[in-house]
Amino acid sequence: MATKVNIRDVAKAAGVSVTTVSHALSEAHSSRVNARTVEHIKAVAGDLGYAPNRLASGLRNQRSQILGLVSDEITTTPFAGAMIQGAQDAASEHGYLLMVVNSGLDNELERQEIRALQQHQVDGIVYARMFNQQVSVPGELGAAPTVVLDATPDNPALSSVVPDEFGAGESAAELLVTAGHRRIAMVNNEDDIPAAHGRLAGFRAALVRHGLELPADCLMAGHPSTAGGREAALQLLSRAEPPTALFCFNDQMAMGAYQAAGHLGLKVPADVSIVGVDNLELIADGLWPGLSTMALPHYEMGRWAVLKLLEELEDPGAPRRQEKISCPVIERESVAPPRN
């Protein structure tokens, strides 16, 4: 049986002290060692097949090196899984394991899952929602280090990260106005949530900057689904003087708008330009022509939440932040200049 390589073997092979190896292979202390030396030690450790003993390290630091992520329904829907990927990548890069639990919107199950994570002595928790909303963080989290992902907590003492909904609305308006559109309508979500309010406010603000407005009869709200978008778009596009462009709350509603346009004999983008929000590739890439949309920064938000949590674990006095991450424009083929 091969002898297990230990930290002393790495130190001897690298020609440095055991303490230097320990610091070089520690995310928390590698800055104490010259960067070239860190690279050399990591290369030697890799050649020898050495892996640090995370359990022993955790006992010394009173850390489990485990983080928890509590979600509502992120893992069971196709809409926001990139948040988990971003969080997992950030945790792994810093030597942490991410444990993910999903409540399926069951509050009692969520409480049980939080208690289970605490029994596993997680160092901190990311409390995540599938879409941007106002939340009250469960009391079971107590004083546990916590960062809120894709939601705004009612407790300002907690750091949080959400998409820049206002900016998404602004970008959609800029895209359509730049293409030459002046009669522009919006198909919004009927729910009273930050995303609906933020996207509408940003859309209006950008129109005003260009000397335009969003008349009351050019704002329709519906269920944030394909059917909801189809119904609202049918009403808008059936008018004697229909809008030449539609900004839809999400890609699902935009798909409904495509269907409404087709039903009325209108072509996208020749007769009507359509823009969505999400960059849900199953829809945005699947539609023909492809849907131009504002991408929700799910991966980036997941990374930010874990990195912020790790910062607060290292420095409990670090300032709490309420971060907004921009939504990049993904241009495909659904926007063109109006016919007239």
Residues 207, 177 contacting (CB under 8 angstroms): yes
Segment (H or E) for 310 = helix 298-314
Give 324 or 5, the one with higher predicted confidence. 324
Q: Is 244 helix (H, G, I), strand (E, B) or coil?
A: coil
Residue-wise pLDDT tens digits, 171-219: 999 999 999 999 999 999 999 999 999 999 999 999 999 999 999 999 9
pLDDT tens-place string over residues 32-56: 788 889 889 888 988 887 766 554 5
How would residue 120 be classed by pLDDT, with cut points 50, 70 and 90? confident
Q: What is the mean pLDDT of residues 57-65?
A: 60
Q: Identify the structural domains of the chain with CATH numbers, from first to last.
A: 7-52 (no CATH), 63-162+298-325 (3.40.50.2300), 165-296 (3.40.50.2300)
Residue 205: HSE in the Cβ half-sphere, 13 Å Cα cutoff: 13
CA distance readout (Å), 282 to 40, 248, 251: 44, 17, 10
**DSSP line for 128-195:** E-SS--EE---GGGTTS-EEEESSEES-TTSEEEEE-HHHHHHHHHHHHHHTT--SEEEEEE-S-SHH
* d(C-alpha 287, C-alpha 275), whole Å: 12
Query: What confidence score (pLDDT) does residue 1 get?
Result: 41
Q: Which residue has the tokens 């674990």?
A: 313
pLDDT given for residue 29 in this prediction: 61
Q: Looking at residue 62, what is its pLDDT?
A: 61
Tell me if the pTM is above 0.75.
Answer: yes
Residue 59: pLDDT over 50: no
- pLDDT: which is higher, 12 or 6: 12
Phi/psi for 163 (5° steps) reads -70, 155
pLDDT at 26 over 70: yes
Closest CA to 237 of 213, 214, 265, 212: 265
Q: Note the pLDDT tens digit of each residue in 125-178.
A: 999 998 899 998 888 887 789 999 999 998 889 999 999 999 999 999 999 999
- pLDDT for 28 equals 58
Provide, rounded to the nearest whole percent, the portion of the chain with pLDDT above 70.
Answer: 94
pLDDT tens per residue across span 92-107: 988 899 999 988 878 8
* Residue of higher predicted confidence among 260 and 118: 260
